[in-house]
Amino acid sequence: MQRVHATVQRSLKARQELALWLPGAGRGDEVERAQGAGTDNVRGVLHGEVIPLARAFNEARVKTWLIGGQAVELLCGGAVRAHDDIDFLVRAGDAGRALQVLQDLGLTQVHGSLEAGNVFYRRADLLVDVVPVLEQPPRCVGDLAGLTLPTAFLTDTPVVRDGVSVNTLTPDMHAALKGVVSAFYGAPMREKDLVDLAALRRCGFDG
C-alpha cells in the first residue's frame, strides 16, 4: 500500500510540474490555458496537428491510439471542449520510434520519460503526451503501471479523417479510462472528464 501511495504521489507531483510547461500556466482555468495555445483549442475543435501526427506515426509503422479530448472529438465529429495537449497511447515496442517521429517533426522533450510511464514533447504551442502501453494484457508501465485496464481496452477503432486513418479506442473504453484514472489518483473526475463522458454518451456510449 505504501508503494502504491508513493507512486500516486510521484505521478501527482509530475502533473504539478508539467503545469509549468502548459500555455498560460498559473491562471488556473483550462480554457484560459488553451487560449494561449491557439484558436482551435479555445473552440474545442480537433487540433490541426492531430492528422499530421497520425500520418507520421502510420508512415513510421508506429502503433498508436489517440486518447483524451481530441479522441472524443474525433469519434463524435464535432467540438466538445478546450484542450491542453494531444494524447497518444503508443505500443511499448514502438515507443522509441514514436519519439524519433516527434523529434523529426521538430518537437523536443520537456517532461517525463518512457520509463516513467509517459513523456511530453513540445513545439511552440503544440504539446504531445506519449504513453507507452503493453498489449497482452493491456497495461501501462513505470509510475502508471498500477492502472487497471480492461481486457478489451486496446480494441482498434480507426477513424479516417482527411484520408488518414487515426486509430483510437472504442467509446466505452474511453469512458472506462476516465474511471480507471480517477480511481488510480483517488480523486473525483475533473470537469473536462465529465464533459467528455456526456459527449461519448451522445455518440454511442450508454454506460
User: Where residue 44 falls among pLDDT bands split at 50, 70, 90?
Assistant: low
User: Where residue 20 falls among pLDDT bands split at 50, 70, 90?
Assistant: very low
Per-residue model confidence (pLDDT) at position 202: 83
User: Where residue 205 falls among pLDDT bands split at 50, 70, 90?
Assistant: low
Where along the chain do its domains lie? 2-202
Reading the block at residue 95, the C-alpha cell is 515507443
Average pLDDT over residues 7-28: 38
Per-residue model confidence (pLDDT) at position 63: 98
Q: What pLDDT digit, counting tens, does each position of 96-142 carry?
A: 999 999 999 999 999 999 999 999 999 999 999 999 999 999 999 99
Per-residue model confidence (pLDDT) at position 164: 97
Percent of the chain with pLDDT over 70: 77
Chain Cα centroid distance, residue 168: 10
Q: What is the DSSP string of the chain?
A: -HHHHHHHHHHHHHHHHHGGGSTTTTS--HHHHHHTT-HHHHHT---TTHHHHHHHHHHTT--EEEEHHHHHHHHHTS-----S-EEEEEEGGGHHHHHHHHHHTT-EEEEEETTTTEEEEEETTEEEEEEEEETTTTEE-GGGTT----TTTT--EEEEETTEEEEE--HHHHHHHHHHHHHHHTSPPPHHHHHHHHHHHHTT---
Q: What pLDDT digit, counting tens, does each position of 140-156 carry?
A: 999 999 999 999 999 99
Per-residue model confidence (pLDDT) at position 78: 81
Percent of the chain with pLDDT over 90: 70
Q: What is the mean pLDDT of the chain?
A: 82
Residue 158 scores a pLDDT above 80: yes
Per-residue model confidence (pLDDT) at position 166: 98
Residue 35 scores a pLDDT above 60: no
User: Where residue 46 falls among pLDDT bands split at 50, 70, 90?
Assistant: confident
pTM (global) more than 0.85 = no
The Cα–Cα gap between 129 and 51 comes to 15
Residue 196 scores a pLDDT above 70: yes
Residue 1 scores a pLDDT above 50: no
Supply the CATH classification number for the domain 2-202. 3.30.460.40
